[in-house]
Amino acid sequence: MRFTAVAAAAIMGLGLVACSSDDDSSSDTTEASGGDSSAKLVICSDIPYAPMEMEATEETTPSGFTGFDIDLVQAIADGADKTLEVKVTPFDGIFAAMDAGNCDAVISSVSITDERKANMDFTDPYFDAEQSILTTKANAEKFTTVESLAGKTIGVQSGTTGEEYVTANKPDGATVTALPGAADLFAALESGTVDAVIQDYPINAYRAVQDPNFVVTAKITTDEKYGMATKLDDSATLELLNKGLAAAKSDGTYDTIYEKYFGEKPSS
């Protein structure tokens, strides 16, 4: 994600949440009213994962959830005259849940990768992403690069491109600890179980501005972009999402939502 210090400062007023769930069978579900499935757009999302997807605690929303991703897909659903239904699903089982028919799409800060594209379709990219290092304030001057974490324990979220990046670029003697969600990573960092967390920049930055004990010490530039995922054979949902994204960008809705969460309009 490409966002500036202005953006980080702007999200200081947002409430703190993180990301964790138990398993697919116990996932929370917000049911939309009505029984006509054709009138719904059902998505799977790993919530909370602030500021991209989170529970709507201070405002009323149609789905009961909010965040950059959720507000964007809500606008797409509204434009298609569909009711948005959100199924909270742990990220490590989220694509299997879609394949099983639990939802029409996965919209959960998903990075587009060649490996994933072999098993699912993606919309046009809608968000630039990059990795980052989060550590405690006490260690802020020690851990400023991936190489500086040699011999240390690095926390990552299971099943993410952050995990893939660290596995491929692990410094000498480092231990990689994969945990289910961001909340687990932050708790491990606070307790000292891990020395640093490497994951998507906006998630780490959001936590750092909410907790003065945490500091983002580095952004790791990648070519990652977020996309909304659908099953390979679901051209109807893919077309609906792509049309909605194009409309949101052309009519200013995308810019409005971006500015709401990041304090500035996107750079491109």
Distance of CA 257 to the CA centre of its chain: 15
| 13 pLDDT more than 70 | no
Residue 260's pLDDT is 87
Average model confidence (pLDDT) across the chain: 86
| 5 pLDDT more than 60 | no
Judged by average pLDDT, the poorest of 1-15, 32-46, 53-67 is 1-15
Residue 58's pLDDT is 80
Q: Are 10 and 51 in contact (CB under 8 A)?
A: no
Residue 115's pLDDT is 94
Q: Model confidence at 37, in pLDDT bands (50, 70, 90)?
A: low
Q: Model confidence at 208, in pLDDT bands (50, 70, 90)?
A: confident
Beta strand 229-230 with 105-106 is: antiparallel
Residue 11: count of CB within 10 angstroms of its CB? 19
User: The whole model's pTM is what?
Assistant: 0.71
The percentage of residues in the chain with a pLDDT greater than 90, rounded to a whole number, is 69
Which of 257, 193, 255, 202 lies closest to 226 in space, CA to CA? Answer: 202
Q: Model confidence at 268, in pLDDT bands (50, 70, 90)?
A: low
Note the pLDDT tens digit of each residue in 56-96. Answer: 988 889 999 999 999 999 999 999 999 999 999 999 999 99
